[in-house]
Amino acid sequence: MSRKNVAVIFGGRSGEHEVSLVSGQSVMRALHPERYTVVPVGIGKDGRWWTGEDAMSFLRSSEGAPRRCLLPPEPGRNILLVDDGGRWTEQPIDVVFPVIHGSNGEDGTLQGVFELAELPFVGAGVTASAVAMDKVLQKRLHREAGIPIVPFLHYTSHDIALRAEEIAREIIEKLGLPLFIKPPNLGSSVGITRVTDADALADALRHAARFDRKVLAEVAVPEAREIEVAVLGNEDPVASVPGEVVPSNEFYDYDAKYVDGASQLLIPAELPEGMDERIRRMAVEAYRSLDCEGMARVDFLISRASGELYINEINTIPGFTSISMYPKLFDAVGIPYADLLDRLIEFALRRHAEKQALTRSYTPKEDWYRHE
Ligand SMILES: Nc1ncnc2c1ncn2[C@@H]1O[C@H](COP(=O)(O)OP(=O)(O)O)[C@@H](O)[C@H]1O
Ligand SMILES: [Mg+2]
């Protein structure tokens, strides 16, 4: 087998830009060098694309001299166009490994570019990415699949601007307290508030509305334990063992996730008899309910008070540093980081080959459109 050119794409325009740099660096370091040639592709916060050895250092600290690049959306070319002193040269690409979290990376938009270019890519396709990005839409599909979700309400940010106080009263009446208020299309806990006091609700709604065109209000799971499962595969996905996050803060906010380094990951999670199997089965059902492919991390909340289990959310491009939950969960079941990357690339290539084999065109019997 010849070495494949893998474009690892990192950075991006979301609030998770920095996290993505760390994930992207880990992936590039770990890819088996005898199987792959890494083509680093960094997307700046301004949305510009860079490649070359210096792409990472440039995004991290504005150092080095990377080259501008573009991915043309024309099908079948399998290239990046690279600016070579004012002339565009072609860098061949066999498969893309996007490691961009959040909007414009994990939400189907970037995946749409790969689809147009007919390039194989790692992870969920356009639809699953978009639906998983939207916490309201994904809850609806989980509900339809019979997977337990917490009671929730959602509003447009436009409504919040017009009548936040009235909406706050309605939410308290229907859901009670405490609550979580979220912008449904974000990640890394940005814009999320835990509300315990009715007087603070309208402000929490307005805060979430600054980040998104929708606002989600959901019942807080009492004394929640956070359990996460890694899922891998296309039509026959497998689940890892469940792991537990013990956040260093009141909830798993941005600082607890990345900054203070004090949150703990317990692998495997210690769970009551039978719960382990139930969660793994539910993780695969949730993955299927959204049509996920390649990979996803499925997050659950268990109430310490009642023992009740709920799905919280699916992330289609989970944190991918070597100490992140997703790779560590598979490491725990005997799939080391570099082998996990091999499998993800394999799933990407297989899906691509299957899609290429589909019938894509239809030729009408008559030239009816010429006469219109
Ligand atoms: N309904 C809930 N009950 C208890 N804790 C919650 C609830 N929703 C969110 N949280 C807490 O907030 C964190 C971030 O919420 P989440 O919906 O996972 O957003 P993000 O996509 O930003 O990770 C969770 O990891 C958890 O600590
Ligand atoms: Mg989360």
**Structural domain spans, the chain:** 4-121, 151-219, 224-349
CA nearest ligand 1 atom 16, residue: 189
Task: Determine the Cα–Cα distance for residues 71 and 62; give it in Å rounded to an integer.
Answer: 22
Task: Determine the Cα–Cα distance for residues 236 and 221; give it in Å rounded to an integer.
Answer: 31
- Residue 172 CB neighbour total at 10 angstroms: 15
Q: Is the pLDDT of residue 75 over 90?
A: yes
Can you state the angle between helices 135-144 and 126-133, rounded to 10 degrees?
Answer: 100
Dihedral pair phi/psi, residue 52, rounded to 5°: 105, 170
**What mean pLDDT comes out for the span 349-363?**
91
Whether ligand 1 lies within 6 angstroms of the CB of 193 is answered as: no
If you write DSSP's letter for every residue of 176-192 in order, what string do you get? -SSEEEE-TT--TTTT-
pLDDT, mean over the chain: 94
**What mean pLDDT comes out for the span 280-287?**
97
Whether ligand 1 lies within 6 angstroms of the CB of 188 is answered as: yes
State the pLDDT confidence band at 1, using cuts at 50, 70 and 90.
low
Task: Give the ligand at the shortest distance from the Cα of 138.
Answer: 1
Task: Determine the Cα–Cα distance for residues 100 and 299; give it in Å rounded to an integer.
Answer: 19
* C-beta of residue 21 within 8 angstroms of C-beta of residue 56: yes
Would you state the structure tokens that stand for residue 2, as one six-digit string? 């010849």
Whether ligand 1 lies within 6 angstroms of the CB of 192 is answered as: yes
Whether ligand 1 lies within 6 angstroms of the CB of 251 is answered as: yes
Q: Give CA separation, 352 vs 88, 139, 152, 288, 347, in Å.
A: 27, 28, 37, 19, 8
Give strand pairing partners of 182: 216
**What mean pLDDT comes out for the span 230-258?**
91
Give strand pairing partners of 156: 214
Secondary structure class of 71 (helix, strand, coil): coil
User: What pLDDT shows up at residue 252?
Assistant: 86
pLDDT in tens, 182-196: 999 987 788 999 999
Q: Provide the percentage of residues in the chain whose pLDDT is more than 70.
A: 99
Residues with Cβ within 8 Å of 169's Cβ and at least 6 positions away in sequence, in order, are none
Q: Is the pLDDT of residue 262 over 90?
A: no
* C-beta of residue 118 within 8 angstroms of C-beta of residue 29: no
Whether ligand 1 lies within 6 angstroms of the CB of 325 is answered as: no
The CATH number assigned to the domain with range 4-121 reads 3.40.50.20
pTM for the whole structure: 0.95
CA nearest ligand 1 atom 8, residue: 180
Q: Which of 142, 219, 301, 302 to mutate to test the pocket of ligand 1 (most atoms within 8 A of CB)?
A: 301
Same fold, 151-219 and 224-349: no
pLDDT in tens, 90-144: 999 999 999 999 889 999 999 999 999 999 999 999 999 999 999 999 999 999 9
Whether ligand 1 lies within 6 angstroms of the CB of 15 is answered as: no
State the pLDDT confidence band at 172, using cuts at 50, 70 and 90.
very high
Whether ligand 1 lies within 6 angstroms of the CB of 221 is answered as: yes
**What mean pLDDT comes out for the span 348-371?**
87
For 167, half-sphere exposure in the C-beta direction (CA atoms, 13 angstrom radius) is 23
Secondary structure class of 139 (helix, strand, coil): helix
Whether ligand 1 lies within 6 angstroms of the CB of 94 is answered as: no
Burial group, residue 175, by CB count within 10 angstroms (0-12, 13-18, 19+): middle
CATH match of 151-219 with 3.30.1490.20 = yes
The CATH number assigned to the domain with range 224-349 reads 3.30.470.20
Q: 272 CA distance to ligand 1 centroid (A)?
A: 22
Would you state the structure tokens that stand for residue 204, as one six-digit string? 């929490």
Burial group, residue 310, by CB count within 10 angstroms (0-12, 13-18, 19+): buried
Task: Determine the Cα–Cα distance for residues 107 and 124; give it in Å rounded to an integer.
Answer: 9
**What mean pLDDT comes out for the span 227-250?**
95
Q: 135 CA distance to ligand 1 centroid (A)?
A: 11
